[in-house]
Chains A and B, each alone.
Chain A
Amino acid sequence: MIDQPNLNYVNELAGDDVEFRGQFIDIIKNEFPLEKEEYFGHVSNARVKETAEIVHKLKHKFNILGMENSYKLAVVYEMELLEGKHDSQSKFNEILETIEEYIKTI
């Protein structure tokens, strides 16, 4: 079961600062699709090191979106990639789809 993304952390950080909240949402809406595309590009071309790098980058977003379990999975997946494995790939891909759907709603 994939944990659902949320903006709790961002809301707490923003408080009454609507501008920051808006800025944050803009960044994630802009950055996430690009990073997702980059990730799948590296995966399809079997660029393992680059895949691990972008997984590392994406996992921060899981954390910020309150997805603790997904973050833990990404940590494992990143390590797997560096060891030449990819057991967690399909679950990781599911997390990306979940976030993509979520950011359409914010």
Chain B
Amino acid sequence: MNCIIIDDEAMARAIVRQLCSKIPELDVIEEFDNAISAIKFLNQQDIDVIFLDIHMPGFSGVDFVQTLKDPPKIVLTTSDTNFAIAAYEYECIVDYLVKPITQERFEKSIAKISSISSQKPQAKIDSKQDAVEGEDLYINIDRRLIKLKLQDILVIEAKGDYIDVKTEKEEYRVHTTLKKIKEKLPEKLFLQIHRSYLINFTKIIDIEDNSVLIAKNVVPISRSNRPELMRRLNLL
């Protein structure tokens, strides 16, 4: 079984690598000190098992798991036992190892993985977003129905009982909710990255920390929406 180790602490990675070295069927092919680098790697390489630290700064183990569309088996490694119940909500998480991990407990975990019927060992990021061309949206402004090309919409922002629809040339205020307009928009093109913002995913210029730049609009990314955004990025 090919595996990778993700842990922000060098000491913890060394320990898991040592534990793996005593199991002939385990082959550690890479280790990472952050989840983002691992996502990039998983976009290129199929692996069978991830040993994942749940508590990492910035992008946590739970964020990471939510990012994977078709995850391999994941074994969490942490000292925070209070994460255990939440962890088992994810089908891909097959075990939970509390640090310091003993060889005996580690071997039990590997035996458990081996006994579980193997899923497709693939962790691909759903990166290809097909453009939706030729589709329109009619918005009601002062009893006039104005046609907007979906491709021209950059950002939609919630403003109380209204939404602001921003295109490259114009900005329209419409009496509706973000939830309602979201239902009308194709998921392939639009993504909610904050409770007050929908963005045209194809118009992203760059992403920095917790915000996205679309034309001249800096749009915040909420913590809960970040994993889905990361999942859809075509990361190199």
**Residue ranges of A at the interface with B (Cβ–Cβ < 8 Å):** 9, 12-14, 17, 20, 23-24, 27-28, 31, 53, 56-57, 59-61, 63-64, 71
Q: Are B79 and A20 in contact (CB under 8 A)?
A: no
Measured CB to CB, the nearest residue on chain B to A50 is B57
Q: Are A13 and B18 in contact (CB under 8 A)?
A: yes
A81–B97 Cα distance when bound, in Å, is: 26
B37 beta carbon closer than 8 Å to chain A: no
What sequence of 0s and 1s flags, for each residue 10-23 of chain B, a beta carbon within 8 Å of any chain A beta carbon? 11101100110100
Q: Are A20 and B18 in contact (CB under 8 A)?
A: yes
**Residue ranges of B at the interface with A (Cβ–Cβ < 8 Å):** 8-12, 14-15, 18-19, 21, 55, 57, 79, 99-100, 102-103
Contacts of A31 in B (CB 8 A): 9-11
Known pairs A12-B102, A24-B15, A64-B99; list 5 more (Cβ under 8 Å).
A13-B19, A14-B18, A17-B21, A31-B11, A57-B8
Measured CB to CB, the nearest residue on chain B to A71 is B79
Contacts of B15 in A (CB 8 A): 13, 24, 64
**Shortest Cβ distance from A25 into chain B, in angstroms?**
10
Contacts of B55 in A (CB 8 A): 56
Measured CB to CB, the nearest residue on chain B to A63 is B100
Q: Are B18 and A27 in contact (CB under 8 A)?
A: no
Please pick, from A20, A28, A60, the residue contacting B99 in the complex, using a CB distance under 8 A. A60
Please pick, from B12, B57, B102, the residue contacting A60 in the complex, using a CB distance under 8 A. B12
Q: Are B11 and A27 in contact (CB under 8 A)?
A: yes
Q: What are 21 A-B pairs at a CB distance below 8 A? A: A9-B100, A12-B102, A13-B18, A13-B19, A14-B18, A17-B18, A17-B21, A20-B14, A24-B15, A27-B10, A27-B11, A28-B11, A31-B11, A57-B8, A57-B9, A59-B79, A60-B9, A60-B99, A63-B79, A63-B99, A64-B99
**Shortest Cβ distance from A16 into chain B, in angstroms?**
11
A23–B15 Cα distance when bound, in Å, is: 10
Between B8, B79, B102, the greatest number of chain A beta carbons within 10 A of the residue's beta carbon is seen for B79
A24–B57 Cα distance when bound, in Å, is: 23
**Shortest Cβ distance from B235 into chain A, in angstroms?**
26
Measured CB to CB, the nearest residue on chain A to B8 is A57
